[in-house]
Structure 1
Amino acid sequence: VSCGATSAVTLDSELFGHERGAVAGAEDRKQGLFEIADQGTLFLDDIADLPPELQPKLLKMLETRTFRRMGGTREIEVDVRLVAGTSKDLQAEVEAGRFREDLYYRLSVMPLSLPPVSDRPKEDRVALLHRLHHELAAELSDGPTTISPDAFDRMLAYAWPGNIREMRNVLERAMILARGQDQIEVEHLPGEFRARYGLGDRRHTPVSLDELERQHIERTLRHHDGNRTRSAVELGISRATLINKIKRYSLK
């Protein structure tokens, strides 16, 4: 579940459940994900976007393995392995006062840092593209079974600011457009692949990855008339992450 995709009340109900009448429209008792995941594992994505009012509740659950449903009085005990993910620097969020320091240390039992797609070696990006194409080909029976060398080269050269989610979205879109054909061609890729890496543009213009990301986000927002929700979906990132990037790059 994403911690930045909904309101604090809705997320509280989703994670910890609620009693009948605790929230508007709650006609029945609801079990939360922590209760459902008892003796198992729960993954919380975008943990840096966890609303401040829910951070103490999550900390208590991690320390005591107990919590109360919204509107409840009984402590519920669970044994859940929690895995949390974020694209932000959590330590920087702590220093900025947006994330509790005690919760940060409670979560940082075994941190794993995964490099963005743009920082991965070429062989990793090749493997990712092949793997995602193979998975999508199994889902779309009438989709193309190969990718043309030109289209593949352009995808390898792309910065992928939205990381693997964006890569999967671009490939899925291309496969849908290329249904009934043998392979994915450049014409099936989004406009930025055809424009920036077009055949007539062979000159090398030095540009930072941050600038590539800024340009791509700006184009995507313009394509969706400034709609942040649709833009975030196309980029393969959460709406909260997109808003942070808009602020970072001073986009309108």
Structure 2
Amino acid sequence: MDTRPSGNPILPDHINNKNEHPLKDFLILSLAVVLLISLFTWLLAASASWLAPKIPYEWELSWKGDSHLTTEGSTEPHEQQEQALQQLLQKLTGDNALPVQVHYLADEETPNAFATLGGHIFITRGLLENIRSENGLAMVLAHEYAHIQLRHPMTLLLEQLSLGVLWALMGSDNMAQTVTQSTSLLTLLAFSRDMERDADQFALQRLSATYGHTAGADEFFTQIHQLEQESSLPQDSEWLEFVQTHPITDERIQTIRGSMQAGTTTALPTLLNIQ
């Protein structure tokens, strides 16, 4: 006996229809995409940290992206100040150090110091105006040199290039172009907190090896931290740029102080004491 239906059966309404909100699948998919992008970004950053030290430093020395900062806007040469800064850095790092050029930005009132691609360290007049001892300046110089020694600028460059590729793969050409064309400026942005910790430890070691102690190492960082706490750094503050590019935290200050060794600080050389 044939038991097949004589016509097409009518299926119940609940078959192939979930009794769930229609946005649930969209949210799950969106979350999965965000997690994948985050994971991919983390992998790119990790690969940049691994690859940067393997790139020959001689290749980085050919980078000229920030050379315009050395003289642009300056009304007169300042070879003597730059020579004094260079001599202090050599005193800290020794003869076997990486070739690094120190530049003095005499017309920049913002208290700042930063290291860039190509082995450049920049010290502003505003920073020198807020340092009283050679030891305080030596800590800043050694800290910035540490970024170069540890290849942090190159790491940031590789990270930004990787992010540019990621955005390009996602179809955001404008974003990719913006990122990749700004890599030289992006090296001036904040290093990660791990990078800052490593640079601080390197600088403290160099101060101890040079002076036999690390007294005065916290001078400039403590002053900035105090001003930050007192004034909350309004948007027009000249200290804002330094705080944005150098994460000043209680943890960092306490770490430096905890590693400081008692000793006598050396007065800032007359050539650099521009008070």
TM range (shorter): under 0.3
| Structure possessing the higher radius of gyration over alpha carbons | 2
> Whose helix fraction is larger, Structure 1's or Structure 2's?
2
TM-score (norm 2): 0.23
Structure 1 length normalisation: TM-score? 0.25
Between the two structures, name the one with larger relative contact order (CA 8 Å, sep ≥ 6): 2
